[in-house]
Amino acid sequence: MLADADILITGGTGSFGRALVKHLLDQNPSPRRIIVFSRDELKQHQMSRELEADDMGRMRFFLGDVRDAERLKTAFRGVDYVVHAAAMKQVPACEYNPTEAIRTNVDGAINVAAAAIDAGVKRVIALSTDKAVNPANLYGATKACAERLFTHANVMAGALDTRFSCVRYGNVLGSRGSVLQVWRAQLAAGRKLTITSPLMTRFWLTLPQGVAYVLSALERMAGAEIFVPKLPSCSMVELAEMVAPDGGWERIPVRRGEKMHEILISADEADRVQAWPAEFIIKSEPLGEDQWRVPEGFTYRSDTNSDRLTATELAKILEGVA
């Protein structure tokens, strides 16, 4: 689908964007143009320096901010597909700077949708988060709003070909600012690992898994779906014991807005959820008697998830995460 196509990635210099670009460049055939749209000129420069000379012919680096509607309209000209990964993601930063989080995560979503419709983009897939489900912090609230905006954008597009969907998943091991990076820095400094609660659980996936799933959703989407991959989970203590078997850990206060367990699907969404072997798909309308519908009151939580990571599986995953 992406062969001989133009694909643009907002927030393209972030962890996900960089992994997606690498994946696309390695494809044969690969897209005609891969456009990185982000606001950090230094990161764009560093990213371009890391690429092979043969790859630069397909790359375009576009400075801009998703808050700037006119800049997005310019960047989207001639683009076939958009992966919207730009966001303010750090929970404490969003709590302390609420208006900034809203301008990027909510106003930015509005701008991306409008620019995509205006430019005739074929498909837009937006990255969401478990924190959008029953949000306990501003970051989650902004992403919940963004999900609604992107699914509703299909109504705005009307009879046009532009379609919008979302992917919602949990924590990405090894992404910038992830707990794994924090813990490895603590180990390097000779400190104990910090954990807010030994009872806390999380869903986990790696960056390559996230990239592959987003591209799969982009290829299969019809519009207005929220794609949720089935993921393994474990407690924070289990992960810490694999990172530092002999180092130990110490408890610190729970951060404002931090949940004990992740929820990827709430009971309120159950009447719209289809269960497939490797994923759940949340539709925009109730499913009625659909044979793939989950039971009434169904939830998908990290603490009750039956797919638990074993010590062997954790060790194998950590070996492959830089």
The structure tokens listed for 90 are: 């750090």
Residue 211, Cβ density class (10 Å: 0-12 exposed, 13-18 middle, ≥19 buried): buried
Q: How far is it, in rounded angstroms, from Cα 301 to Cα 265?
A: 7
Read off φ and ψ for residue 287, nearest 5 degrees.
-90, -15
Q: At what angle do helices 108-119 and 138-157 cross, to 10 degrees?
A: 20
Residue 102, Cβ density class (10 Å: 0-12 exposed, 13-18 middle, ≥19 buried): middle
Contacts of 203 (CB under 8 A, 6+ apart): 130, 169, 170, 171, 231, 232, 233, 262, 264, 302, 305
The pairing of strands 226-229 and 279-282 is antiparallel
Please identify which of the residues 22, 43, 131, 192 carries the catalytic annotation: 131
Q: How far is it, in rounded angstroms, from Cα 166 to Cα 125?
A: 5
Q: How far is it, in rounded angstroms, from Cα 120 to Cα 73?
A: 10
Q: Is 283 a catalytic residue?
A: no
Angle, vertex CA 203, rays to CA 311 and CA 147, nearest 5: 165
Among 40, 82, 74, CA closest to 214:
82
The structure tokens listed for 187 are: 């180990």
Q: How far is it, in rounded angstroms, from Cα 247 to Cα 240?
A: 9
Q: Which residues are marked as active site?
A: 131
